[in-house]
């Protein structure tokens, strides 16, 4: 699925260049569940941005399904994000003025579906994450766990091949964390997704098939 070769990312700051990723080479096969751990500032989020076609590397390559992301124009990257990659964020990142259903529909907007198709699929996705009764609720009317379920529904409604989750349980209590992880694991298993989770939580990481440790921009496998 993913092939990372000599991937390097440097940021220019006032204090000079900072290396977030340092010649990372990595292969993630299709359908694998990977957890990425490491200290804050170790490069976890930068790696996730590279995998999600949100950031271009300073050097090296990222290949997704045989296509090199670093060489693509912005419009093609947006298309890949719209069809192939789903995102789940720690802060949920829902649009506060839209209802749960409308938030899910935003992920379908770039696909050019009809209004009725869009609504139908958004409703089905919300039912799948157990929020069939909360379609018209705004984010402020939902609990943290429910908001994350809406975010997961938004990520999965377009039926992506990859789901990237950045601290998906970081803002949740233990019980809700377990519920969300069970939901993600179930979807990963049922949908055949490649699931990559960035987390500080070892309990979450232990659920993954494969654990990577990222420190000072370098990756090591964790047994």
Partner 1 sequence: MFGTYLYRELSNRRKQTAIIAAGMALAIALVMIVNGVAAGVRDAQATVLASVYGVGTDITISQEPVQPAEGEEGAQQERPRFEFGAEDGETTDGTTALSQSRLTSGIASTTFDADALTTALSLDSVAAATATLALTNVSFSGEVAAPTTTDTGETAPGEGAQQGGRGGPDGAGGSAFNVDTFTVTGIDVAGESVGPLTSVELVDGRAFESSDSDTNVVILDTSYATTSSLTVGDSLEIGGEEFEVIGTVTSTSADATTASNTYIPLDTAQRVADLENQISTVYVQAASSTDIAAVQTALQTELPDAWVKTQEDLASSVSGSLSTASDLVGKLGTWLSIIVLAAAFLISVLLTTSGVARRTREFGTLKAIGWSNGAVVRQVAGESLVQGAIGGVVGVAIGLLGILAINIAAPVLSASAAATAVAGQGAGGGGNRFGDAATTAAATTDIALQIPVTFSIIGIAVALAILGGLIAGAFGGWRAARLRPAEALRSVA
Where do contacts with partner 1 occur on this chain (CB under 8 A)?
45, 48-49, 52, 54-55, 74-75, 78-79, 81-83, 86-87, 89-91, 93, 95-98, 102, 105-110, 118, 154-155, 158, 166-167
Alpha helix stretches (DSSP H) within the chain: 44-51, 74-83, 100-106, 115-128, 144-156, 174-191, 202-205
Whole-number minimum distance, CB 215 to partner 1, in Å? 17
- Of the pair 175, 177, the CB lying nearest partner 1 is at 177
Q: Which of 140, 45, 157 is nearest to 94 (CA)?
A: 140
Q: Report yes or no: 105 and 118 within 8 Å, Cβ to Cβ.
A: yes
Give the separation between CA 64 and CA 2, rounded to whole angstroms. 5
Cα 30 to the chain's mean position, in Å? 15
Q: 16 or 96: whose CB is closer to partner 1?
A: 96
Shortest distance, CB of residue 99 to partner 1, whole angstroms? Answer: 8
- Least Å from the CB of residue 198 to partner 1: 9
Nearest to partner 1 of 83, 189 (CB atom) = 83
Q: 3-class DSSP state for residue 121?
A: helix
When the beta carbons of 92 and 221 are compared against partner 1, the nearer one is 92
């Amino acid at each position: 699925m993913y092939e990372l070769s000599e991937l390097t990312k440097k940021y220019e700051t006032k204090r000079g260049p900072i290396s977030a990723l340092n010649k990372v080479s990595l292969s993630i096969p299709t359908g694998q569940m990977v957890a990425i751990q490491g200290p804050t500032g170790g490069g976890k989020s930068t790696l996730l941005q590279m995998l999600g076609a949100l950031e271009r590397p300073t050097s090296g390559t990222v290949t997704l399904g045989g296509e090199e992301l670093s060489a693509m124009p912005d419009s093609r990257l947006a298309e890949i994000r719209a069809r192939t990659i789903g995102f789940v964020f720690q802060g949920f990142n829902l649009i506060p003025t839209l209802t749960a259903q409308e938030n899910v529909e935003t992920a379908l907007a770039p696909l050019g579906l009809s209004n009725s198709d869009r609504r139908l699929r958004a409703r089905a996705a919300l039912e799948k994450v157990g929020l069939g009764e909360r379609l018209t609720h705004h984010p402020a009317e939902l609990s943290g766990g429910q908001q994350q379920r809406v975010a997961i529904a938004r990520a999965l409604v377009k039926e992506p091949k990859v789901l990237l989750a950045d601290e998906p349980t970081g803002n949740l209590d233990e019980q809700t964390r377990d519920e969300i992880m069970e939901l993600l694991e179930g979807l990963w298993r049922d949908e055949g997704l490649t699931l990559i989770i960035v987390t500080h939580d070892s309990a979450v990481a232990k659920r993954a098939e494969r654990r990577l440790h990222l420190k000072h921009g370098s990756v090591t496998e964790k047994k």
